[in-house]
Chain A
Amino acid sequence: GENVEQHPSTLSVQEGDSAVIKCTYSDSASNYFPWYKQELGKGPQLIIDIRSNVGEKKDQRIAVTLNKTAKHFSLHITETQPEDSAVYFCAASIANSGYSTLTFGKGTMLLVSP
């Protein structure tokens, strides 16, 4: 089955700095790669996703890049703010016409200090 490795497990940055979280996956058939943010006491929430026919996607301060050849994808957060502090999970999936089951990485705790 699919295996997703995520690094680092914790990341501390100063407000305004950039943060990068990296993931690798094992199944070359995976074609859907979402990123979820989990704030304390809440369930994870999708922040951005990318499909295998695209190399990069941006949404304001957040971007995701995908390298299919190397089987890795990364989350980039620019101009970090204290409210970005949370646990971030990457996931990989073979998305078919009906549903996708996600294999998650183990998570990265991001702490943004003012």
Chain B
Amino acid sequence: DVKVTQSSRYLVKRTGEKVFLECVQDMDHENMFWYRQDPGLGLRLIYFSYDVKMKEKGDIPEGYSVSREKKERFSLILESASTNQTSMYLCASSLGRTSGSYEQYFGPGTRLTVT
């Protein structure tokens, strides 16, 4: 089974702090994604990466950055956390260009509260 793990299930940070959310997948997937999920808004794509050291902006990248130094790990960084970044953050991965499969496998999510 594909396993996508996220470093924390719950996180509480203060406004202005630098926050790191870590995601690790164990299936050698090429593609990795970060979403945020808010009630009534569904899932919105923040950033994605289709290869090591590659990153692409999603629909709502403002206030976030990402890092992918190793294939299995994709980090989401909030440079200076703000209260409007309080949300559920979901990481996902998918196989890659030669597979023909676009299924995304999601982690359990990190609920971040910024006070």
Contact = CB atoms under 8 A, between A and B. Distances in A.
Given A42-B108, A43-B107, A49-B103, A101 B48 contact: yes
B90 A43 contact: yes
A22 B41 CA distance: 16
Contact of B44 (A41, A98, A104): A104
Interface in B68-115: 90, 92, 94, 96-97, 102-104, 106-109
Contacts of B50: 98-99
B43 A100 contact: no
Interface residues of B, number: 26
* A interface: dominant SS: loop
A97 B97 contact: yes
Interface residues of A, number: 27
13 contacts: A1-B59, A36-B106, A41-B108, A43-B92, A43-B109, A45-B106, A95-B102, A97-B97, A99-B48, A99-B50, A102-B45, A106-B40, A106-B41
Interface of B: 4, 30-31, 33, 40-45, 48, 50, 58-59, 90, 92, 94, 96-97, 102-104, 106-109
Interface of A: 1, 6, 9, 32, 34, 36, 41-46, 49, 89, 93, 95, 97-107
